[in-house]
Structure 1
Amino acid sequence: MAISLKKGQKVDLTKTNPGLKKVLVGLGWDTNKYDGGHSFDLDAAAFLTGENGKAGSDADFVFYNNKTHASESVIHMGDSLTGEGAGDDEQVIVELDKVPAEIQKISFTVTIHEAAERSQNFGQVSNAFIRVVNEASNEELIRYDLGEDFSIETAIVVAELYRHSGEWKFNAVGSGFEGGLAALCKNFGIDAG
């Protein structure tokens, strides 16, 4: 049975699941009634950061244009342009024992592609969630449903996996940003210019 979290809650991942090596991180969402004439294209990404919360380089930003981290520890499974249907809209595979030692945290984010041009924001998105699945057994271990806390934000840090005392933990962050991907990249020390 998956552990269901609320914003700000943290839970052990590897300590409570001994031998866990590989997880699938699934992100999903629906869009509310919206008549702006444009479809929604939400993009999931992962930022691999050090102790200081900053990425070492652009290569530590894993997304639809850079699907595999150099260590092959984090792999983006591809961009869903529509978010149609039930279940995960985008997925990221994380091989925990392959993550380089200098990486202390993997932050999972969702942004709205061309949000400003399309007059879109997360107030128009519903049923957003992130879930962590044991890749070997297909068992859902953790789930965080974001709720309807957002209005004008165009980027969200959904959750993070982070190292603590030799184990991996999960933090349900749910923190929104205005300014889309550029603001998010700046937050993690990457120049999106």
Structure 2
Amino acid sequence: MISLAKGQKIDLTKTNPGLTKIMVGLGWDTNKYDGGNEFDLDAVAFLVNSEGKATGDGAFIFYNNKQDPSGSIVLSGDNRTGEGEGDDETVKINLAGVPAEVQKIAICINIHEADTRNQNFGQVSNAFARVVNEDNGEEILRYDLGEDYSIETGLVVAEIYRHNGEWKFSAVGSGFQGGLAALAATYGLNAG
């Protein structure tokens, strides 16, 4: 298993021949928080074309649209607390079935209703992403995001993208303010 730092890129399929189905597990813990509201983080994925724009309405995968039209990218259920060990939410990707126009899959975490609940990633710790070979359960890589966030309400955790016919993983770790709408706008979608 390889541990990545922010900004690193790694081959997925080239170094793991025969890899076709992966699970991206996302996890986090919330610090003690006295605002009286639930702290609900959501995994979100955007399917992006070569111009960096979403490939259509079905290209926004979130709790109300849990899979893309091809069925090759599927989001797990909505974990509303983040409690317990291991993955809090997962995105399963059948790399062989991803439509050709999808050049990149951006994996994000968003804090649900962050503005109205006065929450941000400064109150989140131990956030990570890991990639598992779904066929044998082997963990291929892990990316711990660290604690260098404060006012952000959304994170682009990683991008899984095509490069010369292979799939690669990029540890992005960039934070956003403005919630889901800001994340969606980055990929050319209007989530309002």
Partner of 1:137: 136
Partner of 2:13: 14
How far, CA to CA, are the matches of 2:57 and 2:85 in structure 1?
A: 32
The residue matched to 1:52 in structure 2 has which SS? coil
Partner of 1:106: 105
Partner of 2:74: 75
The residue matched to 1:173 in structure 2 has which SS? strand
Partner of 2:95: 96
Aligned residues: 192
- TM-score normalised to structure 2 length: 0.99
Equivalent positions of 1:122-161 (< 5 A) are 122-161=121-160
Equivalent positions of 1:3-82 (< 5 A) are 3-82=2-81
How large is the RMSD of aligned CA atoms in angstroms? 0.6
Partner of 2:176: 177
Over residues 132-157 of structure 1, what are the superposed CA-to-partner deviations in whole Å (9 max), with x where a residue is unaligned? 00001000001000000100000000
Using the aligned pairs only, state the percent identity: 67
Query: Where do 5+ consecutive residues of structure 2 fail to align?
Result: none
Q: CA deviation at 1:53?
A: 1.0
Q: Which moved more, 1:55-64 or 1:165-174?
A: 55-64
Q: CA deviation at 1:64?
A: 1.0
Over residues 67-119 of structure 1, what are the superposed CA-to-partner deviations in whole Å (9 max), with x where a residue is unaligned? 11111110011111111101000011000000011110000000000101110
Q: CA deviation at 1:58?
A: 1.8
How far, CA to CA, are the matches of 1:54 and 1:79 in structure 2?
A: 26
Q: Tell me the amino acid that sits aligned with residue 134 of structure 1.
A: N
Over residues 48-76 of structure 1, what are the superposed CA-to-partner deviations in whole Å (9 max), with x where a residue is unaligned? 00011110212101111111111111001
- TM-score normalised to structure 1 length: 0.98
- Runs of 4+ in structure 1 over 2 Å off: none
How far, CA to CA, are the matches of 2:127 and 2:141 in structure 1?
A: 14
